[in-house]
Amino acid sequence: MTAPQPNNALHGITLEAILNELVGHYGWEELGRIVPIKCFNKDPSIKSSLTFLRKTPWARKQVEDLYLKLKV
């Protein structure tokens, strides 16, 4: 079992849940403007975006930061 992480606002939230909420709020087109990555702009899907974000730390950070801004 992992220890609680009180300073980690994303603890317990999956990348898929983050992406689904952002797509639901902004839509793919707007999300692609805010975070200009190919997987959001050309034939976007949750699956392809998750694959890319899991391999690309800088893009994942942008998506996580956007999610945190949405939640504030």
- What pLDDT is stored for residue 52 in this prediction? 96
| Inter-residue contact 40 to 32 (CB < 8 Å) | yes
Query: In the prediction, which pLDDT does 5 show?
Result: 67
pLDDT of residue 1: 54
Contacts of 20 (CB under 8 A, 6+ apart): 46
| Angle 3-9-15 from CA coordinates, rounded to 5° | 95
Mean pLDDT by 10 residues, the chain (72 residues): 70 92 96 95 95 96 95 82
Domains plus CATH for the chain?
15-71 (1.10.720.30)
Cα 53 off chain centre by: 8
